[in-house]
Amino acid sequence: MTSVVYDGTYEGWLTAVFDIYEYKLDDVVFAKGEQAAAFLFGTRHEVTTEDRKAKRVLKGLQQRLSSTALKNINLTFLSEIDYSEDIMLRFVRYAFSSGVNVEQDLANRLVWEVWEAARRVRKEAHRMEAFVRFKLTKDDLYDPLYYAVIEPQCDVLPLISDHFKNRYADQRWLIYDLKRKYGIYYDLEMLNTVEVQFSDKLGSAQIKAELCDEREEHFQNLWCRYFGAVNIEARKNLRLQMKHMPKRYWKYLTEKMPDYHRS
Amino acid sequence: MVNDRVTQKLEILAGAAKYDVSCSSGQGNRENKNKGLGDSKANGICHSFTEDGRCVALLKILLTNHCIFDCAYCVSRKSNDVKRAAFTVDEVVDLTISFYRRNYIEGLFLSSGIFYSPDYTMERLVKIVKKLRKEQNFNGYIHLKAIPGASEELIKEAGLYADRLSVNVEMPTEQSLKLLAPDKNHQDVIKPMEYLKNEIAGHKEETKLNKRAPVFAPAGQSTQMVIGATKESDLEILGMADYFYQQMKLKRVYYSGYVPISYDGRLPAIGTPVPMIRENRLYQADWLVRYYGFHVNELVGFDQPNLELDIDPKLSWALRNLHQFPLDINIADIELINRVPGIGFLGAKKIVAARKFKTLKPEDLKQMGIVYNRAKYFLSVSNPFSAHKDYTAIQIKERIQNLQNSKYKSDFSPQLTLF
């Protein structure tokens, strides 16, 4: 068994695939930089991310697959499900070994797993386009900023930032992924990936009040009242609500927060 | 103080608008040019879900719930003793923009009770959308009610700013409308609908020739029928819907299970359950007609004017047409695969793609996410050949019902479970 250690980026993974073919590595286990220490047994292969190698792999795949299938491999990477890298590798090996385009061979596990993982990521990206809730900061220190915090299961920020850029072209905004500790910031011109140090005290009501625009609380309150007013009690169906809006997302939904948690 | 007043108004006017079930925000396709606010792409987004499981995509409110009409089914009817309120034009604009900027909503769904006159009301609605589009540079989704009886000039102006316009037919037949809404007649509804149909078609032609021609209600028009307040059968309801889709080119027909809100003797009493299952079956049938190539007459007919409540209309059709099955999954046309219970149109597509690589077997279908336990009664698999032995329609129905764990089940089987 060979541990293939790469830097955790998509380019790094593509480079790893190049190396796997180059050195004819068999029976591999992927490990990202920091987890690498855990693999004490077996041989170890260090991958140095190289644009040239990554591009070669991509080009080879482009000759065999449609752009949708290529995208699906990338989405599987973002899914962060268990063994996602192995699922990707199995599919890539199958694609390279076949003379025809195999991406529609859905009855085959090797193809199906990538398809499923990609579907899962698309679904969550769509959900995040819906469930982001911006709050407006005060404008006395900096220019006003609409900020939101999310904790999605998959790494969907790269997939949704264009949507928000097109939609909120005239406001500064920041969406921060607390789970992965990075955010996307739009400065009215372009998108920037940022790392922000959030104070531990951010949760406290006092800090929030100092941070937020004076009308912010009013609109949050209006939204919650609206949310309550459009419900039809005679049709109550909590199961249906939960199906569309699983509880794991409620933490950052203004309308689902307990009152004291809001600004 | 001012804030409290707006909050109060919002509660009243959102509460009064909630019986309009439309929430879709799709097909607007209004692009954000010149760095304005908002962009409505082809697929709508549901931003939240209320405890009844319905989607919240739009700020759905009435401009006012004051109304000169007295339609029995409507919570805002003149004779009803409810709190009344009215927004100002600026309040609606401010609410829409502030909600939109926080990513609460896809846009605005604005309707109104009729105060003074239809034209006076429509004028206010148009003023709001115009302000949103022109002054606020707002490209989010706007669904506007065309007030029955308003002048064609005003409706035309509305279409230039709104993504979708709708006139609610409310009652499936003229008799019901006469009974419950003596101030209205079907003509008031059909006339503006027809006018909109022609305008939408005309503008579409124009845009084909000249890309800069103004768009007119790019997301088309829709309507709503209240279900279960009067005695119409599903045949009449779906027939009417079919007429709207075919003749009026409507994008959507909504079915709204009547929520009892009145002691009026002409209507189901307060406490009568909302016909949610029936409403659900109507939507399923509507879907089969629009996406699965079914004709209304295949689902309901004079011999069977109502959809079955305990099974969905696709299964119901299949059981009545067992002579068309089993279907060989490896060679059947996609149109026929679409008709198999347990296989949706996405599933059918996957099957047709995957079978090019190998002869599909039951375990392949299961792996691909097909509801095989439901579909298997209607399929055969070649080489080695296998098909489910000849069950009767009743046997299949029993078996399928036993495996689904329907939350409605208790409503249908008060008797003992025998298996």
Q: What is the DSSP string of B63-95?
A: SB---S---TT-TT-TTS-----B--HHHHHHH
Q: Which residues of B touch A240 (CB under 8 A)?
A: 49, 52-53
Q: Which residues of B touch A226 (CB under 8 A)?
A: 10-11, 14, 59, 99
pLDDT score recorded for residue A1 = 83
pLDDT tens-place string over residues A97-129: 998 999 999 999 999 999 999 999 999 999 999
pLDDT score recorded for residue B122 = 96
Q: Which residues of A touch B10 (CB under 8 A)?
A: 222, 225-226, 229
B126 vs B121: CA distance, rounded Å: 9
Does the beta carbon of A190 lie under 8 angstroms from any beta carbon of chain B? Answer: no
Does the beta carbon of B104 lie under 8 angstroms from any beta carbon of chain A? Answer: yes
pLDDT score recorded for residue B207 = 87
Does the beta carbon of A11 lie under 8 angstroms from any beta carbon of chain B? Answer: no
DSSP SS3 for A17 = helix
* Alpha-carbon dihedral sign for residues B373, B377, B379, B382: positive
> How near does any CA of chain A get to the CA of B330, in Å?
13
Residues, chain B: 419
Tell me the mean pLDDT in the region B174-193. Answer: 85
Beta bridge partners of B130: none
A207, A201 Cβ separation under 8 angstroms? yes
pLDDT score recorded for residue A213 = 75
* Alpha-carbon dihedral sign for residues B200, B203, B204, B205: positive
Q: Is the pLDDT of residue B356 over 80?
A: yes
User: Best mutation site among A100, A111, A223, A242 for testing chain B: the one with the most B CBs within 10 Å?
Assistant: A223
Does the beta carbon of B37 lie under 8 angstroms from any beta carbon of chain A? Answer: yes
For residues B365 and A143, the model is more confident at: B365
Domain ranges of chain A: 2-121, 132-261
Q: Which residues of B touch A222 (CB under 8 A)?
A: 6-7, 10, 95, 98-99
CB-nearest to A169 from B11, B32, B56 is B32
Going by the DSSP 8-state scheme, the letter that residue B132 receives in this structure is I
Q: Which residues of B touch A124 (CB under 8 A)?
A: none
DSSP E strand stretches across chain A: 2-6, 28-32, 43-46, 135-136, 146-150, 173-177, 182-186, 191-194
Q: Which of B36-40, B290-294, B348-352 has the lowest mean pLDDT?
A: B36-40
Q: Which of A29-38, A204-213, B178-187, B244-253 has the lowest mean pLDDT?
A: A204-213
B110, B143 Cβ separation under 8 angstroms? yes
A196 vs A182: CA distance, rounded Å: 7
pLDDT tens-place string over residues B329-355: 999 999 999 999 999 999 999 999 999
For residues B42 and B332, the model is more confident at: B332
pLDDT band at B103 (very low <50, low <70, confident <90, very high): very high
pLDDT band at A144 (very low <50, low <70, confident <90, very high): confident
Does the beta carbon of A230 lie under 8 angstroms from any beta carbon of chain B? Answer: yes
Which of these, B37, B104, B35, B30, lies nearest to A190 by C-alpha position? B35
pLDDT score recorded for residue B297 = 94
pLDDT score recorded for residue B176 = 87
pLDDT score recorded for residue B383 = 63
B99 vs B12: CA distance, rounded Å: 18
> How near does any CA of chain B get to the CA of A128, in Å?
9
> How near does any CA of chain A get to the CA of B172, in Å?
22
Report the helix count and the strand count for chain A, using DSSP H and E.
9, 8
Does the beta carbon of A177 lie under 8 angstroms from any beta carbon of chain B? Answer: no
Beta bridge partners of B255: B225
CB-based contact A102 B357, cutoff 8 Å: yes
CB-nearest to B45 from A109, A129, A228 is A129
Host H or E run for residue B143 = strand B141-145
B64, B89 Cβ separation under 8 angstroms? no
Residues 6 or more apart from B351 whose CB is under 8 A from it? Answer: B329, B337, B343, B360, B365, B368, B370
Mean of pLDDT over chain B:
89
CB-based contact B35 A104, cutoff 8 Å: no
pLDDT score recorded for residue B400 = 87
pLDDT tens-place string over residues B4-24: 899 999 999 999 998 887 777
pLDDT tens-place string over residues B218-272: 999 999 999 998 889 999 999 999 999 999 999 999 999 998 888 888 899 888 8
Q: Is the pLDDT of residue A245 over 50?
A: yes
Cis peptide before B268 (omega within 30 of 0): no
Q: Is the pLDDT of residue B411 over 80?
A: no
Count of CB pairs separated by less than 8 Å, A with B:
160
Beta bridge partners of A149: A176
CB-based contact B60 A229, cutoff 8 Å: no
Tell me the mean pLDDT in the region A19-38. Answer: 84
pLDDT band at B419 (very low <50, low <70, confident <90, very high): very low
pLDDT tens-place string over residues B119-173: 999 999 999 999 999 999 999 999 999 998 899 999 999 999 999 999 988 888 8
Q: Which of B48-57, B296-305, B387-396 has the lowest mean pLDDT?
A: B387-396
A82 vs A117: CA distance, rounded Å: 10
Parallel, antiparallel or unpaired: strands A182-186 and B379-381: unpaired
> How near does any CA of chain A get to the CA of B246, in Å?
31
Find the radius of gyration of the CA atoms of chain A. 22
Q: Is the pLDDT of residue A80 over 70?
A: yes
B80-117 in b/e form (b: 16+ CB < 10 A) is: beeebbbbeeebbbbbbbbbbbbbbbbbbbbbbbbbee
Does the beta carbon of B276 lie under 8 angstroms from any beta carbon of chain A? Answer: yes
A226 vs A224: CA distance, rounded Å: 5
B329 vs B372: CA distance, rounded Å: 12
Q: Is the pLDDT of residue B53 over 80?
A: yes
pLDDT band at A13 (very low <50, low <70, confident <90, very high): very high
Q: Is the pLDDT of residue A73 over 80?
A: yes
CB-based contact B356 A104, cutoff 8 Å: yes
Does the beta carbon of A191 lie under 8 angstroms from any beta carbon of chain B? Answer: no
Does the beta carbon of A129 lie under 8 angstroms from any beta carbon of chain B? Answer: yes
Task: For chain B, list the domains and their CATH numbers.
Answer: 2-299 (3.20.20.70), 313-412 (no CATH)
Long-range contact pairs involving A33-36 (C-beta distance under 8 Å, separation at least 24): A33/A5, A33/A6, A33/A7, A33/A8, A36/A3, A36/A5
